[in-house]
Amino acid sequence: MTFLIALYALVVAARPAPTVAQAGGGQVTIPPDTAYGCIACHADKRTAFVMGVHADRGIRCHDCHGGDPAATVLPTAHRGRFVGKPDKVAIVSLCGSCHSDPDRMRQYGLPSGQVAELRTSRHGQLLLNRRDFHAPTCTDCHDAHMILRPDDARASTYPTNIPATCARCHQDATLMARYGLPTDQFERFRRSAHGVALFDDQNFAAPSCVGCHGTHSALPPTVTEIANVCGRCHVLVSQAFAAGPHAAAARDGRIAGCVGCHGNHDTERVPAERIAATCGRCHAAGTRAHALGTEIEQDVVQATADLHAAEEAIGRLTRAGRETGDAQFRYRTALTAYLQIAEVQHNLDVERLEELTRRVRSISRDLQGIADVAEEHRWEHQLFLVPVWFFALATLALALLALRRLERGSRHS
Ligand code: HEC
Ligand code: HEC
Ligand code: HEC
Ligand code: HEC
Ligand code: HEC
Ligand code: HEC
Ligand code: HEC
Ligand code: HEC
Ligand code: HEC
């Protein structure tokens, strides 16, 4: 290990001194690292630091830690405004000394609200108001030295790495027991529609933890906010929802918005055959609302079966060797109507729902009819081929027989 570090130091020392653009406009040359005392004794921290974003901008150890970088011996190196290892609250001010300054951040296109946002979050309240060091500070999520951009796949803040970053604490049963919080968020999220989209499909339009909670302002959305949080991405569903009777109930906090039917961390589509049962969690059997749920379920189940039948009809047409262009076009019309059903039923307007269901059914019936006819023709075609094959084979057999005779005749003579 020591050998490796020494080798690394040699390689680094042999490199030309990098040039860095300064905010002032001029170019300055960083002195070669051997003249920079801190790294002579803290080579491991340098290794991590040069991989991060700050080194690229000419930020150096003493910008955060103070001390005298020209000195190579203790205690002189640690003199001056030496900060040493800042505690969790001091870290917020340290990072904020640059990141909360809009004049400094504007040139990089970076927002400057992280500290202000952290202050509003549950994390910030605990850390800054109560000095509870179990709450995260900037470096718990970003590291202290190897600070990478969130779009760098190695970063702890890269979309697919965020859940693990949060889970380091939120899956820690002893830590969370102090606050009476469950520790199953990551497990449930991993299996949810969002977890599958994020991890398996690498679909970064799906939320990681921060997509719903906010990044630096992490708080659970209050019951009345949930529909708006989900609606940021599910725009059409949310518009339909807003037109239905549950929207008013959600505004008053009587139903936890979308989560009332979908769950927060184990978010899933409600399967067609469980729709009425879902309504039944809040509306007793025999009520108008429950009856409506049963109607919706029947429509969705029927439309799903019709869509599958239409798909199967296209398959049959293809096998019968038919041109399927027109059928494909009609199938897509049915699919569009089918997809609209899932959105529209959020306003619980069964009339519109039934209209869409009928459209799927009528197209599906047509396509099945066309496929039936094509299959009949295909059989007729195949039946017609039987005599043709019979004659062809018979002719071949006769020809072989004749050939055999000829050969025997020539051998005789
Ligand atoms: C001659 C070697 C040497 C030099 C040069 C040196 N340090 Fe240190 N540094 C040490 C030692 C030894 C420790 C104590 C390590 C420990 O306690 O684990 C230490 C500890 C630290 C700590 C942790 C303090 C704490 O409270 O835990 C920081 C931060 C630090 N040094 C930063 C710097 C910076 C910045 C520079 C350059 C300005 C620098 N050091 C230069 C040897 C050095
Ligand atoms: C952007 C600010 C920043 C810069 C630049 C920076 N550090 Fe640090 N450093 C920190 C913070 C914050 C901590 C406290 C980390 C923690 O609590 O996890 C820390 C901790 C340390 C420690 C104590 C680590 C420990 O585990 O006890 C040492 C030693 C150290 N830094 C050395 C360096 C050296 C050497 C450099 C230059 C290569 C450097 N730092 C550059 C912010 C910085
Ligand atoms: C001396 C000023 C300074 C300090 C102190 C500082 N930063 Fe930075 N930081 C910058 C600058 C400048 C950039 C822009 C780098 C770039 O975009 O190339 C940056 C970039 C970042 C980025 C990448 C942002 C992005 O999307 O590109 C993160 C994350 C970050 N800093 C976190 C921290 C944390 C955490 C701390 C405290 C440990 C900290 N910074 C302390 C100046 C600072
Ligand atoms: C609970 C974890 C967590 C804490 C605490 C945290 N960050 Fe972040 N930070 C993230 C994540 C995750 C991202 C990625 C952004 C995203 O995906 O929305 C990020 C992004 C950033 C960025 C890039 C620009 C932006 O705002 O998106 C900067 C700069 C930054 N953080 C600085 C800080 C500073 C400074 C602190 C302390 C005041 C801090 N962070 C505290 C998790 C955290
Ligand atoms: C260093 C540990 C740590 C990390 C990392 C961390 N948290 Fe927390 N989190 C806590 C603690 C401690 C609480 C306080 C619980 C309380 O007081 O209710 C908390 C509270 C929360 C709460 C409020 C829960 C409630 O009902 O009060 C949310 C939401 C939250 N965290 C989300 C996140 C997200 C999202 C991330 C990742 C970006 C994250 N946390 C990273 C430690 C952490
Ligand atoms: C699809 C949106 C969404 C995603 C993604 C999400 N959450 Fe939540 N989370 C919520 C909602 C909504 C609540 C509040 C539930 C309520 O009040 O009924 C919540 C509550 C919480 C709480 C409070 C305790 C609890 O379990 O109720 C914590 C802690 C938390 N989330 C952490 C996380 C972490 C960590 C992740 C990533 C693994 C995550 N969340 C991903 C929406 C989400
Ligand atoms: C950051 C954007 C975003 C947020 C916020 C969000 N979602 Fe999603 N959601 C998605 C994406 C992307 C998918 C995956 C779509 C796919 O794979 O076709 C998805 C999938 C779903 C699915 C499964 C759809 C299906 O057809 O299987 C449901 C249900 C869902 N989200 C509900 C919610 C609820 C409820 C909330 C709020 C608690 C929420 N979403 C918050 C983006 C988001
Ligand atoms: C999480 C609980 C919950 C679930 C699940 C739920 N609802 Fe509701 N629903 C409510 C609340 C609360 C109201 C408002 C009650 C009021 O205004 O008196 C409401 C109101 C209604 C209303 C208008 C008032 C009425 O009773 O006629 C209809 C219709 C309705 N829901 C249908 C449904 C259907 C259909 C489903 C299933 C697809 C469903 N609900 C699932 C909680 C729920
Ligand atoms: C009363 C129960 C209920 C509530 C409340 C509810 N949903 Fe749904 N949601 C369903 C049902 C049932 C389905 C499945 C419909 C189907 O398969 O046709 C569904 C399907 C979905 C889908 C998949 C639809 C698609 O287009 O692929 C998404 C996304 C979704 N819901 C998001 C939300 C959002 C966002 C909210 C809040 C604005 C919400 N849901 C509120 C019952 C509900």
Q: Identify whether 116 is part of a domain.
A: no
H or E stretch covering 19: strand 19-21
For the chain, residues with pLDDT lower than 70 are 1-34, 413
209 and 295: one domain?
no
216 and 292: one domain?
no
Q: Identify whether 63 is part of a domain.
A: no
Whether residue 111 is preceded by a cis peptide bond, meaning omega within 30 degrees of 0, is no
Count the Cβ atoms, other than its own, within 10 Å of residue 235. Answer: 10
Domain that holds residue 165: 148-220
Count the Cβ atoms, other than its own, within 10 Å of residue 327. Answer: 21
Q: Identify whether 339 is part of a domain.
A: yes
pLDDT of residue 412: 72
The DSSP code for 332 is H
Total domain count, the chain: 2
19 within ligand 7 shell (Cβ under 6 A)? no
Q: Which residues line ligand 1 (CB under 6 A)?
A: 37-38, 40-42, 61-62, 65, 67-69, 72-74, 77-78, 84-85
208 and 303: one domain?
no
Q: Identify whether 308 is part of a domain.
A: yes
Dihedrals phi, psi of 17, to nearest 5 degrees:
-65, 130
Inter-residue contact 271 to 292 (CB < 8 Å): no
pLDDT of residue 413: 65
State the pTM of this model: 0.89
Q: Which of 188, 220, 252 is the last residue of a domain?
A: 220
Q: Identify whether 62 is part of a domain.
A: no
Which is nearest to 153 in space by CA: 202, 187, 108? 202
C-alpha of residue 30 to centroid of ligand 6, in Å: 46
| Long-range contacts, stretch 130-139, CB < 8 angstroms, 24+ apart | 131/89, 133/87, 133/88, 134/169, 134/175, 134/178, 135/88, 136/169, 137/88, 137/89, 137/91, 137/92, 138/91, 138/92, 138/95, 138/114, 139/91, 139/95
Q: Which of 201, 220, 239 is the last residue of a domain?
A: 220
Closest approach atom of ligand 9 to CA 278: 2
Give 276's Cβ-side CA count (13 Å radius): 16
Inter-residue contact 147 to 98 (CB < 8 Å): no
Q: Identify whether 109 is part of a domain.
A: no
Inter-residue contact 125 to 219 (CB < 8 Å): no
pLDDT of residue 384: 76
pLDDT of residue 26: 37
Residue nearest to atom 22 of ligand 6 (CA): 220
Instruction: Read off the tokens for 40.
Output: 């002579």
Q: Which of 200, 220, 240 is the last residue of a domain?
A: 220
Closest ligand to residue 95's CA: 3
Closest approach atom of ligand 7 to CA 268: 29
